[in-house]
Amino acid sequence: MTQEKRLFPYFQPIVGIACGNIVGYEALAWQADANGSVGSAGELFSAPDIADEQLLEWDRSIRRQALQQFSRSNCSGYLTINISAAWIDKIADLNSLPTLLMLDEFHIDRSRIIIEITESKGDLNRLIEIIGAYRKLGFKVAIDHFGAGFSQLENVMSAQPDIIKLDIRLFKQASQGGIASDIVHLLTRLAKRTGCRIVCVGVETQDEFFFGLSCGAQYMQGALFSPAEAEFKSPTHYQKQINALRKSFLNNTLTKEQHKIQYISKIKSLCKHLKKTLQTGFNLNALSAYPFEENGFLRLYLCNNDGEQISSNFNFADGKWLEDSTRIGFNWAWRPYFYQLLALESIKDSYRLITSERYRDFNSDVLCKTLSLRLDDEHVLLIDIAAEWL
């Protein structure tokens, strides 16, 4: 190790959302220079001019210090230690893993250690082999930077880790809304389907905390609670703060849900007026007095019981209904909002308004939902609306 730098571990707490306690820590590499200034050593480990052998030596030194300090502490949670996927390739004997030897030396229960794979580099088959070996030895495994690239999805599906940590840049971008938000929600749904627990990293603001909750994250980590520090804290140190954040999230979400319910009620009422008008004729101009446009109605069309579109699209804009016949003959029977309506009718439950998932309309680029309801014995009414409130 150079004389100018001293490398050592700092520990950042990971909090559990449900319990409000510190459930574990991530050991991070920090450094002190000749002047005593302390800061992250992350850039040091990504420097291209430092040999891998030197970086590996530093990494194992920091890991050893972290495990030794963890073994002497009163911490009741787990410790996450970072291991580079590229360095894993250098392991020759799976029965003599350096981390395993350190744990035996410090008498640390393997179930309290999470091995965090920090990169997607390295041979994928070798990575899966190493992860399998760690898990057989009693460790849990986490994948970091999840969502940073397509290869991460392949890694997760193949390696089946216990925990995924969302890529910090993607998470922060997603917390602002837009396409990134949709991507993160899809990624977290994938993670939950594979049984992974989700950790949001880099949580610094209340809004980011709220976004993490909306994604279904079980754990969070970031400066909103604490930066990396030299010592461990009491497990309940942030409990009051987390309780207050959860309460605030509930209040905010409850208000949004109440507005959503009120909006849905308006939509249902307008759908009833629309259905009645269509059943007694097709005079859409008779509906001009109703607030369709300001409530997000975009278009309507009719299908037969086989899902074939038998009417034009009637688009509502600038207070007028405009006709577009280009979709006549298209078939929508394969869409969930169509066959779910028929399934409900088969069990004599045909009074619901079926709603699709959100999607972005190809022509208008508007985020939409499609509603379906029975018009009469031979026709199904489909309505596209803007999904701002749904």
CATH number for 350: 3.30.450.20
Q: Considering the domain boundaries, does residue 175 fall inside one?
A: yes
Q: Are residues 314 and 207 in the same domain?
A: no
How far apart are alpha carbons 106 and 149 in whole angstroms? 37
Dihedral of the CA atoms 34, 40, 44, 47 (nearest 10)? Answer: -140
Q: Which domain-ending residue is among 195, 219, 237?
A: 237
Where do runs of H (alpha helix) occur along 194-289? 206-215, 239-279
Contact in structure between 200 and 210 (CB atoms under 8 Å): no
Cβ neighbours for 232, distance < 8 A, ≥ 6 positions apart: 11, 25, 73, 74, 75
- CATH code, domain with 192: 3.20.20.450
Q: How confident is the model at residue 27 (pLDDT cuts 50, 70, 90)?
A: very high
Q: Are residues 93 and 156 in the same domain?
A: yes
Q: How confident is the model at residue 250 (pLDDT cuts 50, 70, 90)?
A: very high
Mean pLDDT of 306-327: 89
Quote the number of domains for the chain: 2
352 or 187, which is more confident: 187
Q: Are residues 197 and 98 in the same domain?
A: yes
The full length of the chain comes to 390
155 or 45, which is more confident: 45
Q: Are residues 220 and 355 in the same domain?
A: no
Q: Are residues 217 and 317 in the same domain?
A: no
Q: Which two structure tokens, joined as six digits, stand for 289?
A: 């007095």
Contact in structure between 294 and 266 (CB atoms under 8 Å): no
126 or 246, which is more confident: 246
Contact in structure between 333 and 307 (CB atoms under 8 Å): yes
pLDDT at 113 over 50: yes
| Tokens 């008498």 found at | 107
Q: How confident is the model at residue 1 (pLDDT cuts 50, 70, 90)?
A: very low
Burial class (CB in 10 A: 0-12, 13-18, 19+), 203: buried
Structure confidence at residue 316 (pLDDT): 80
Q: Is 19 helix (H, G, I), strand (E, B) or coil?
A: coil
Residue type, 345: E
Q: Considering the domain boundaries, does residue 259 fall inside one?
A: no
The answer to pTM > 0.85 is: no
Q: Considering the domain boundaries, does residue 242 fall inside one?
A: no
How many CA atoms does the CB half-sphere of 318 hold within 13 Å?
Answer: 1
What is the average pLDDT score of the chain? Answer: 87
Q: Considering the domain boundaries, does residue 1 fall inside one?
A: no
Q: Considering the domain boundaries, does residue 153 fall inside one?
A: yes
Mean pLDDT of 142-162: 72
293 or 369, which is more confident: 369
Q: Is 246 helix (H, G, I), strand (E, B) or coil?
A: helix
Q: 124-136 vs 150-159: helix axis angle to the nearest 10?
A: 40
Q: Are residues 328 and 202 in the same domain?
A: no
Q: Which two structure tokens, joined as six digits, stand for 292?
A: 């369709």
Query: Residue 302 sits in which domain range?
Result: 266-386
Q: Are residues 181 and 60 in the same domain?
A: yes
Q: Considering the domain boundaries, does residue 243 fall inside one?
A: no
Q: How confident is the model at residue 318 (pLDDT cuts 50, 70, 90)?
A: confident
pLDDT at 283 over 80: no
277 or 349, which is more confident: 277
Q: Considering the domain boundaries, does residue 86 fall inside one?
A: yes
Q: Are residues 221 and 338 in the same domain?
A: no
Q: Are residues 127 and 226 in the same domain?
A: yes
pLDDT at 55 over 70: yes
What phi and psi values does residue 73 have, to the nearest 5 degrees? -90, 170
Q: Are residues 301 and 341 in the same domain?
A: yes
Q: Are residues 292 and 167 in the same domain?
A: no
**pLDDT tens digits, 334-361:** 999 999 999 988 887 656 789 998 888 8
Q: Which two structure tokens, joined as six digits, stand for 295?
A: 């409530």
Q: Are residues 78 and 131 in the same domain?
A: yes
